[in-house]
Amino acid sequence: MHPPPPHAVARILTHVTGAEVSPGDMRTALVSKHTDRMVQRIGVGDAHYFVKAFDPAREEARTACAREVFAMTSLRDTGLAPRLVAFDRADAFIITEEVPGQMLETVLTADTLAARAFQIGEWSARYIVHQPRRDTDIDWFDYLRQYSGIVTPATQAEANQQFSGRPTPQFALAKHDQSPKNFILTPTHTLIGLDFERSRFKPMGWDVIAAAAALLKRFPERENDILAPLCAGWDSARQGDTPEIAQDILAFFARQASHIDWARAPYK
């Protein structure tokens, strides 16, 4: 994975800043690097930006870039995500403004767990208002048993009793990656969401369920400090057409999924 062409980034930042920017003017630091994507922090004068680049030679990476662009565009001016400054489809990268704060993962403690779970639930409800939806006719049991390791022979009877016949009347474009490492906690204690490349159509409220699994994986003995606050945060911000997320669905899925890579589950 190579960084995006410096001249392409400089050209965009020239347009953004209104002043001529050359590659030599950019102070670049590598933040993270993976097989098909990387993140750089770029300073230009007193301003700082993040450039997230995807491997344009890989179709899956280009699709991930498109998902990120779509989600961040839909969240423009909502305060839920960093401002999308620009994107380049040909070279598959995006540029966002830097948001002051700390990664939630680094500051999340057992003492703040309930408060942050509430915030994630509230953020999820506000996020979903801006995403497209579609009607479905599948129930929770049929949906959950598509996940390897969730509805197992040992839990099938319990899942069937609890969730069969409970409809998922709508799917919405979920963020689908609610790990604490994908949120920034600002100095004013506001949550800002990061990394929308895994967004998929999922049952309404899926991000609350995914958050429960991610938090329980880190705090396996603190179910009461996770599930109820997540539901309360979701309920506090949800719109009238957003169905209630039952706490028993959160509990079942989170308990089963906390030990597996749930993000690699079915994408429909």
CATH code for the domain of 51:
3.30.200.20
The answer to whether residues 181 and 221 belong to one domain is yes
Residue type, 199: S
Work out the percent of the chain whose per-residue pLDDT is above 90.
Answer: 55
- Specify if 1 maps to a domain: no
In the numeric block, which tokens belong to residue 195?
């990394």
Q: Which of 97, 126, 148 is the last residue of a domain?
A: 97
CA distance 52 to 94: 5
- Specify if 75 maps to a domain: yes
The answer to whether residues 73 and 143 belong to one domain is no
CA distance 233 to 212: 12
What does the pLDDT profile of the chain (268 residues) look like in tens digits? 788 889 999 999 999 888 999 999 999 999 999 888 999 999 999 899 999 999 999 999 999 999 999 999 999 989 999 999 999 988 999 999 999 999 999 999 999 999 999 999 999 999 998 999 999 888 888 888 887 778 888 888 888 888 888 888 789 999 998 999 999 999 999 999 999 999 999 988 889 988 998 998 899 889 889 998 998 898 887 754 445 566 777 888 777 766 665 455 543 3
Q: What is the model's pLDDT at position 268?
A: 37
Q: What is the model's pLDDT at position 245?
A: 61
Q: What is the model's pLDDT at position 231?
A: 87
The answer to whether residues 93 and 209 belong to one domain is no
Please state the φ and ψ torsions of residue 5, each to the nearest 5 degrees: -55, 125
In the numeric block, which tokens belong to residue 155?
């839990």
Q: Which of 50, 82, 97 is the last residue of a domain?
A: 97
The answer to whether residues 81 and 111 belong to one domain is no
The answer to whether residues 109 and 89 belong to one domain is no
Q: What is the model's pLDDT at position 239?
A: 54
The answer to whether residues 121 and 251 belong to one domain is yes
Q: Which long-range contacts (CB under 8 A, 24 or more apart) does 151-155 make?
A: 151/256, 152/256, 155/252, 155/256
The answer to whether residues 209 and 225 belong to one domain is yes
The pTM for the full model equals 0.88
The answer to whether residues 117 and 55 belong to one domain is no
Geometric angle at alpha carbon 70, from 145 and 8, rounded to 5°: 130
The answer to whether residues 252 and 165 belong to one domain is yes
Q: Which of 63, 97, 131 is the last residue of a domain?
A: 97
Task: Provide the domain count of the chain.
Answer: 2
CA distance 11 to 47: 16
Range of the domain at 16: 6-97
The answer to whether residues 70 and 113 belong to one domain is no
In terms of residues, how long is the chain? 268
Q: What is the model's pLDDT at position 89?
A: 87
> What is the 3-state secondary structure of the chain?
CCCCCHHHHHHHHHHHHCCCCCHHHCEEEEEEECCCEEEEEEEECCEEEEEEEECCCCHHHHHHHHHHHHHHHHCCCCCCCCCEEEEECCCCEEEEECCCCEEHHHHCCCCCHHHHHHHHHHHHHHHHCCCCEEECCCEHHHHHCCCCCCCCCCCHHHHHHHHCCCECCEEEEECCCCCHHHEEECCCCCEEECCCCCCEEEECCHHHHHHHHHHHHHCCCCHHHCHHHHHHHHHHHCCCCCCCCCHHHHHHHHHHHCCCCHHHCCCC
Please state the φ and ψ torsions of residue 97, each to the nearest 5 degrees: -70, 150
The answer to whether residues 125 and 27 belong to one domain is no
- Specify if 218 maps to a domain: yes
The residue assigned the tokens 């403690």 is 109
CATH of the domain at 195: 3.90.1200.10
The answer to whether residues 217 and 85 belong to one domain is no
